[in-house]
Amino acid sequence: MSFGQALRSRVGLGSARRHERITVHPLLAHRQEPARYVLLDDALERNLADVQEVSEAGSVPWLRVTNRADLPLLLLEGQELQGGKQNRVINISVLVPARSELQIPVSCVERGRWVRHSAPFLTGHFTSPTLRRVVRRSVSRSAMLDGGYSSDQGAVWESVDSTLSLSGTRSTTSAVSDSYTRAVAEIERLIDTFPPEPSQVGLLISVEGRPLGLEVFPDVGAYRTLHRKVLYSYFYAALYETPEVALADVPSFLEALDALEPTRTPSVGIGADCRADTADISASALEVEGTYLYASAFAAK
């Protein structure tokens, strides 16, 4: 089954909504299913989980996740974790078994700090599609070469520096999160023009007609929890990164997804990591019991 076919088994494309240069196509669930996991944002708020450095000394590419819930804990690729000795971004989506502890692969997005600000990490925004593409490409190479999920940290830092430069942000610790504080009011107003629909579980976003990326979340509740955070990352990219992508329109993007045949490797936690990269598109998903629990795809430059 192709990547596109797997997605269409879960969602359909809703009516597009446009505001100036940005068009949001809601992805609507074919059926509602009860959540069989706890989202990291919710678990942290309810003190059912924590994310910490792996030791007192710490390790840049790894963090330790403790799940105290009676359900598996879901962490999503591309979401920033703020705190510890330096901010990180999650390399792959991970489903941590109930009442267990797991080390997860991450990338540093704050290279100017290696001092503990807080013991547990908090969740931040999703990083921009541009940075996520850089992380994903190198993680895909790692998965293909040695079955691991490490990133090219040098390339990640280079992308962070570019993000800070394009937004005109001066950060004393080279933290990508500092760039996302630019134009907060403007981006929040943009988000208000795109409220979630009743059965929405994802979105496909295009800028001036060219598709930027797609996200599919497990269910309506997860999407509503993360709606503003994921939109923020795309709208930031539209305002500051002037993304240039290879695919001309949404039909071309969907055709490219249909042509993708993902490779499957065991995930760090429950399920399988599925990913595919071509010159035009980069996609990944966490597959659990034959279904994509979470998936995303970005048009390549």
pLDDT at residue 33, as a whole number = 82
Instruction: Please say if the pLDDT value at position 293 is more than 80.
Output: yes
Mean pLDDT of the 9-19 span? 96
Alpha carbons 204 and 23: distance in angstroms, whole number: 8
Read off the pTM: 0.96
Write the pLDDT tens digit of every residue in 35-61. 899 999 999 999 999 999 999 999 999
Largest CA distance in the chain: 50
Residue 125's domain comprises: 3-299
Total number of domains constituting the chain: 1
Mean pLDDT of the 273-292 span? 94
